[in-house]
Structure 1
Amino acid sequence: MKNPTKGTPLDETWNYRIPESLADLIPLFENRVACHRLWADWLGQDTDETRRYGEHGLGHAKNHWDYVKQYSAAKSLIEKHLRNGAAVVTEAMVDAAAKAMHDGPLGTDDEAEYTSDEWNRPAEWCRDMARVPLTALGAGSVPGCKPREIECHGLDTPERVCFYEQDFYVLSNFSSFTLKWKDLRFDTSEAAYHWEKFDGTGQLGIQEWIWKAPSAHEAFKIAERNKHLRRPDWDDVKIDVMRRILFGKADQHEYVKRKLLATGDRELVENSWRDDFWGWGPNRDGKNVLGRLWMEVRAALAASASEASRG
């Protein structure tokens, strides 16, 4: 059997559309079951190639078979709700589906063995995905569901959402400027950054999922779901990794370089209302590390241009 990341239905299986109703969760869980069955079958061969994905290829195969059981249990529970005439997701269903994925096919004797983060991850994923239709439907659609609080930023109001790329959108890691990085082509610098979280860990499958992710947001979500597997030195090296990525982006795109230099000596701030490490955060007093790194890159480019003009 071929590596599931090369020429098999995995790409189609791993992708899913955001569910809008309870029924939409069925194909989503079916896709997950098929995906993990592919991985379990392949890793179960215990060849030299499969061992690259971890010291114990057969152990990883067992994890994937456990996931197959979990997602199957949750799918059966959702189908039961549909047979009973339910149309939308409720909080009780979310909790029950997550519990089914935790307890699911296991007897009480086995339950203690599966209380680690490794076992709970699919259950948390179930909660996250099931809450999408719950919150999207809003007040009144789900009995007992409180109205979703509307976030307003900038010129947004509860009745109006404003969108358009600002003049210096190129400095965002989510902007669509490809990056050649370590012999790979990434759609965004955001994806390259998350790919680096697993470099040298042997988690080639996770890196490939990030590399092939259909959006920067999905690359971020894949990295978040697997953060317990990222390289142990990540917190020590992440700022330098980001610095090198930004230099690469400016070097590979003349437009990015030109827009960056056009900011002159103004302070650069990532206007994030959530992240107070890379941006300035909700209170505008965060570390703004991304903005500071861009100012480093700008200073280096300006100095290089000045030397070239004198020479």
Structure 2
Amino acid sequence: MTIYFYGADEAPHGCFSNFSPHPLHLDGHLWPTSEHYFQAQKFPGTRHADLIRRARTPLRAAELGRDPAKPLRRDWERVKDDVMRRAVEAKFREHADIRAVLLATGDEEIVEDTGTDHYWGRGRTGTGRNMLGRILMRTRARLRAEFPAGDAAGI
């Protein structure tokens, strides 16, 4: 069975979305969502990155992060997967409730069900790379090793 997710408000797997309202701490800041963190890392150490961190919604953070007038960091294509991994892992480490949701998926495949993103999701044809889903599955495996069955909440 495959678990498909997209919208942050879709239970029970909406928490897999980068737009889900689960703040995280990374790099000395509190980020309202993993989307805020991811988009800001395109412009580290700039005023634009801080503007993204303070964006009122994850959609606004995404819009600011995709502003074609702002040059991306030169190594973005090389580091973007690791940036996403760090954000996803921090989010699921900090929130026991959603960590339990992720761990409860067992060994099921997790797929971001978007027709518009062939890199992070399945894409229009269903043959996209699904990198966000892959990162979620790798994060699940790491967390499973740290939080054995019955200890998903870290208690």
Q: Which has the larger radius of gyration?
A: 1
Q: 2:144 is matched with which residue?
A: 302
- Aligned partner (choices 1, 24, 28) of residue 179 of structure 1: 24
User: Could you say what secondary structure the match of 2:112 adopts?
Assistant: coil
Q: 1:207 deviation in Å?
A: 1.1
Question: RCO greater where, 1 or 2, for CA within 8 Å and sep 6 or more?
Answer: 2
Q: Does 1:242 find its partner at 2:81?
A: no
Aligned-pair distance for 1:214? 1.0
| Letter of the 1:175 counterpart | S
**Aligned residues: CA RMSD:** 1.9
Q: Does 1:273 align with 2:118?
A: no
**One-letter code of the match for 1:186?**
W
- Give secondary structure in 2 for the equivalent of 1:225: coil
Q: In 1, Cα distance between the equivalents of 2:94 and 2:43?
A: 24
Question: What is the deviation of 1:208?
Answer: 1.7
Structure with greater strand share of residues: 2
TM-score by length of 2: 0.86
Shift of 1:223: 1.4
**Aligned partners of 2:110, 2:94: CA distance in 1, in Å?**
21
Instruction: Quote the Cα distance in structure 2 between the aligned partners of 1:165 and 1:264.
Output: 19
Q: Secondary structure at the match of 1:298?
A: helix
Q: Which residue of 1 aligns with 2:42?
A: 197
Displacement of 1:226 in angstroms is: 4.4
1:40-79 alignment, distance < 5 Å:
none
CA distance, structure 2, for counterparts of residue 289 and residue 283 of structure 1: 15
TM-score of the superposed pair, with normalisation by structure 1: 0.44
Gaps of at least 5 residues in structure 2 are 1-8
Q: Deviations over 1:180-232 (max 9, x none)?
A: 121111111001001111114xxx22112101111111111111114641210
Equivalent pairs counted in the alignment come to: 143
CA deviations on 1:146-205 (whole Å, 9 max, x unpaired) are xxxxxxxxxxxxxxxxxx5231110100010011121111111001001111114xxx22
The alignment status of 1:256 with 2:98, answered yes or no, reads yes
Q: 1:256: how far off?
A: 1.4
CA separation in 2, counterparts of 1:191 and 1:262? Answer: 26
